[in-house]
Amino acid sequence: MVLNVAIIGSGFAGLGAAIRLQETKVDNIAIFERASDLGGTWRDNAYPGCRCDVASNLYSFSFAPNPRWTNTFSYQPEIWRYLDDVAPRHKLRPLIKFEHDVTHVEFDSVAQLWSITTTQGLYFARTVVLATGGLAEPRVPEIPGIDTFAGPLMHTARWDPSVTLSDKRVAVIGTGASAVQTIPRVAGQVAHLDVFQRTPSWILPHLGHPVRERTKRLFATLPLLQRMNRIYGYWKRELLVLGFVKDPSRMTRAETIARDHLTRQIDDPDLRERLAPSYRLGCKRVLLSNDYYPALARDNVELVTTSIQCVEPQGVRTTDGVLHECDVLIAATGFFVTDNPMGKKVRGTNGATLAEAWRGDMSNYKGTMFPGFPNLFMLSGPNTSLGHSSIIFMLESQLNYAVKAIRVALQRNARVEPTEVAAEQWTSALQEKLPGTVWGTGCASWYLNEHGKNTTIWPDFTFKFRHQTRHFEVRDHVVSN
C-alpha cells in the first residue's frame, strides 16, 4: 500500500505533524521510529539533571497545554511523559512503526513516489516528513585512543543507568548544556570527578522553581490563565532578539549578571578566571544553572583546561603529559548538527543526496523544503533552531506551511517543490542577516558548519517566521504532475 504521508521520527516534530495532518483530514499516515518508544530528545536524554531551558508553558504544544507541570522548567521524565500523554489523546500510537530505522529515502521519478527503506522492510509514500531531529545523533569525540578506554564510556544522550558511578573516578568531557545539567548530579556521588573544558560557557542564574498546587489548579480550571502565562513568556523571550540579532552589544547587561553569578559562586580566583568566557554572551548557547559552579568548587571535582591528547585504557591524557585516571568516561559532547547523517540517506530527483545538495550553502525554502526533493518536508530544518526561545513554536510554524503544501500535493496528485529562485532568495536573505548577529561575533559553536556558515539558527523574531510560513505561496513552487 502507498502511504499518503510517511513521517520519520516520533519526537515533538513527528507527533506534531501527525496531529496537524489528522486535523486537516489527511489519512493513511505512518510514523517510522527507529527506537522502541516515542519521545525523541526526551526519550534519549535520560541523564541525571536533564531538563528544558525554556519554560514548560512555552516549551510544549500550543494545542496541548499541560496544567500539571510540576516545575516551571520541567525535567526530562516529565516532558517525555507529556509526549506519551499527548500521543494517545490523538490516537497516534497505532500509527507508529517502532524499531523501523530508516536507512534510505529515495524519490522514484517514474512512479512519482518516495521509497522508504527501513530495517523492517520497504514502504512507499506520496509525501515524506523528515522529523528526525536536529539534536538526535550523539557525537562522541574522535579523540585518539577513545575506543581503548577500559571502563564504560557513555554519551549523555545514551545514558546507561546500570553503570555505577558511586565512589568511582569519573571524567566528563565537555562543558556545554548537558554537562552543566548533569555534573551537579554526578559530583555528589562519585569519589572523584574530572571535568574537561575546552571553552567556558556563559551561565546565567536558573529561574526555574516547583509549581505550586494552587497554580496547577488555577491553570486546570482557567486554561485562559495558562495561555496568558505562555503569551507573556513568549513575548519576554522575543525581546531577547534585540540583543541576539539586532544589536549584540546589548548583551553586556546579561554578561554582567553572568559574571556576578560566577563571582558569587566561585571564591577561588584561579578557577573563576578559567570559567570566565571571553566571547560575547549568546554566541554559543547560553546556559542556566544554580548548581554547576558550586559542583566545580567541590573538593572532589577538578576542572581540567589543558587540551586532551588521547584516551588510554586507564583514563584521559592531556597535552601536558598528565594521565587523569578514571573508571567511567562520560561524553557530554553534543550532536551531529550541521552534518546530521540523515542528509546522506535522502536522495532526490537528480540522484543527489540532501547532504550533497546542501554542500556549500544548504539552499532551502523556509527551512522546510529543498529544490530537487519534491513532496519532502524537513522539520527542524536549516536555520529553524533558536538561541532564545522554544523550538516547538518554530515546529508549529513549519507545520502551518508543510501541511498546506502536503494537501496540495495529495489533492492534485502532484509533485510540489520550491523553485530554485525562491530557495536561493530565502537562503541568501537569511545568510546576509547572520554576520551582524551575536552568532557572527567570532566564536566556534555547533551552530556553524565546516565552512563557518551558520546553517542552524533563525536570525530574527520568531513571529516573523510564523508570518512567513502561514501560507503556501504557489508562485514560489513548481507544482507538476
Ligand X SMILES: Cc1cc2nc3c(=O)[nH]c(=O)nc-3n(C[C@H](O)[C@H](O)[C@H](O)COP(=O)(O)OP(=O)(O)OC[C@H]3O[C@@H](n4cnc5c(N)ncnc54)[C@H](O)[C@@H]3O)c2cc1C
Chain positions contacting ligand X, by CB under 6 A: 8-14, 32-35, 40-41, 45, 50, 52-54, 59, 101-102, 131-133, 135-136, 178, 342, 379-380, 390-391
CA 218 – CA 105 distance, rounded (Å): 47
- Smallest distance from ligand X to CB 177, Å: 6
- Closer residue to ligand X (CB): 6 or 153: 6
- Closer residue to ligand X (CB): 149 or 446: 446
- Spell out the SS3 assignment of the chain: CEEEEEEECCCHHHHHHHHHHHHCCCCCEEEECCCCCCCCHHHHCCCCCCECCCCCCCCCCCCCCCCCCCECCCEHHHHHHHHHHHHHHCCCHHHEECCCCEEEEEEECCCCEEEEEECCEEEEEEEEEECCCCCCCECCCCCCCHHHCCCCEEEHHHCCCCCCCCCCEEEEECCCHHHHHHHHHHHCCCCEEEEECCCCCCEECCCCCECCHHHHHHHHHCHHHHHHHHHHHHHHHHCCHHHHHHCHHHHHHHHHHHHHHHHHHCCCHHHHHHCCCCCCCCCCCCEECCCHHHHHCCCCEEEECCCEEEEECCEEEECCCCEEECCEEEECCCECCCCCHHHHCEECCCCCEHHHHHCCCCCCECCCECCCCCCEEECCCCCCECCCCCHHHHHHHHHHHHHHHHHHHHHCCCEEEECHHHHHHHHHHHHHHHHHCHHHCCCCCCCECCCCCECCECCCCHHHHHHHCCCCCHHHEEEEC
- Smallest distance from ligand X to CB 336, Å: 11
- Closer residue to ligand X (CB): 168 or 340: 340
Radius of gyration of the chain (CA): 23
User: In this structure, are residues 152 and 163 in contact, taking their beta carbons and an 8 Å threshold?
Assistant: yes
- Smallest distance from ligand X to CB 228, Å: 21
- Smallest distance from ligand X to CB 243, Å: 18
- Closer residue to ligand X (CB): 41 or 415: 41
- Closer residue to ligand X (CB): 397 or 415: 397
- Smallest distance from ligand X to CB 313, Å: 30
Q: Looking at this protein, which amino acid is placed at residue 252?
A: T
- Smallest distance from ligand X to CB 220, Å: 23
- Closer residue to ligand X (CB): 74 or 427: 74
CB half-sphere exposure, 384, CA atoms < 13 A:
31
| Tally of CB atoms within 10 A around 365 | 25
- Closer residue to ligand X (CB): 158 or 272: 158
- Smallest distance from ligand X to CB 203, Å: 15
- Closer residue to ligand X (CB): 17 or 414: 17
| Tally of CB atoms within 10 A around 440 | 18
Packed helices 76-89 and 12-23: angle between N→C axes, nearest 10 degrees = 20
- Closer residue to ligand X (CB): 127 or 380: 380
- Smallest distance from ligand X to CB 310, Å: 27
- Closer residue to ligand X (CB): 33 or 327: 33
User: In this structure, are residues 367 and 382 in contact, taking their beta carbons and an 8 Å threshold?
Assistant: yes
CA 465 – CA 398 distance, rounded (Å): 9
Closest by alpha carbon to 280, among 199, 205, 336?
Answer: 199
- Smallest distance from ligand X to CB 398, Å: 10
- Closer residue to ligand X (CB): 77 or 360: 77
- Smallest distance from ligand X to CB 31, Å: 9
- Smallest distance from ligand X to CB 259, Å: 24
- Closer residue to ligand X (CB): 174 or 315: 174
- Smallest distance from ligand X to CB 132, Å: 4
